[in-house]
Amino acid sequence: MNRFLSQETSLRLLQAIQAGPHPFIYEYEKHRLVLLNETGEAQVYFRLPIVVPPPGSPQAQAHYVLLLIQSGNCAMGYFEDGVNLDHKVFRSYMVRKKQGTSQIKYLKTKGKSRAGSRVRLAETAEFFENINERLQAYFEEHEVHRIAISCSKTLIPYLYNSKVPTPFDKHDPRLYKIPKHIHTPIYEVMMDAHRFLLKGELIYEAPYQAVVEDLLGPDGEPSDADL
């Protein structure tokens, strides 16, 4: 089961959990709290809004990049505390029109031979060079706390092996895989993903409904007595 929470409710719930009796751990990679039972098993997952710093962090603001990549399409932006300060959309001729598959996937089965294939490969290289140039600009101009990313495994090597390097590596702890299906990346899709990340989310199975109700109270808000 999933229950989405506003930023205000999420902050109040975070404070209630930190002050309450439920043991928990924080998973930095997924930016969420895991509430545990007496035997240390997970009961409820609480994904924090991206603008909420990790528990105990001295970080006062949240600066982050959203990076959405699919074959031939990329939408990316730089954000501070929920405000988009810059964005860019890239498109590239990477898809074989008749087959509807990307040139990268086609190479694994058929190889490259025709002029069209060479053009698509050149476009692919330029596509990732452009992405990384914009990323480098973000990282040079700003302190980035998080990199929220949605990119298929097929394209990951092309992102990190581009002639223009990324300003982070694939093991950077700031990387945060967006836990949501992303449609073809355009500006509107990026902003929809951002609205999703601005919300808190409780994830739990039906047997733990009582735990969630205890956390939120009868009116769906953490009680002041818990703060």
Overall number of domains in the chain: 2
Adjacent-strand bridge partners of 177: 149
Dist. CA 129–CA 166, nearest whole Å: 9
- Using the structure block, give the residue that is written with the tokens 């008749």: 98
Tell me, what CATH number does 89's domain have?
3.30.420.40
Residue 118 lies in a domain: yes
Dist. CA 223–CA 227, nearest whole Å: 7
Structure tokens of 140? 């040079």
Residue 206 lies in a domain: yes
CA geometry: angle 71, 76, 81, nearest 5 deg: 150
The residue type found at 164 is V
- Specify whether 71 is located in the same domain as 118: yes
The pLDDT assigned to 103 comes to 47
Residue 192 lies in a domain: no
User: Domain span at residue 156?
Assistant: 64-179
Residue 151 lies in a domain: yes
Q: pTM value?
A: 0.85
Residue 59 lies in a domain: no
The pLDDT assigned to 105 comes to 52
Residue 58 lies in a domain: no
The pLDDT assigned to 107 comes to 47
Mind listing the pLDDT tens digit of every residue in the chain (227 residues)?
A: 999 999 999 999 999 999 888 899 999 999 999 999 988 999 999 999 999 999 888 888 999 999 999 988 999 999 999 999 999 999 987 655 545 455 455 445 455 555 456 556 778 889 999 999 999 999 999 999 999 999 989 999 999 999 999 999 999 999 999 999 999 999 999 999 999 999 999 999 999 999 898 888 766 666 444 43
Residues, the chain? 227
Structure tokens of 162? 């581009």
- Specify whether 109 is located in the same domain as 152: yes
The pLDDT assigned to 93 comes to 72
Dist. CA 74–CA 163, nearest whole Å: 18
Pairing of strands 42-47, 200-204: antiparallel
Residue 104 lies in a domain: yes
- Specify whether 80 is located in the same domain as 175: yes
User: Residue 78, exposed/middle/buried by CB under 10 A (0-12, 13-18, 19+)?
Assistant: buried
- Specify whether 86 is located in the same domain as 110: yes
CA geometry: angle 213, 198, 71, nearest 5 deg: 125
Residue 45 lies in a domain: yes
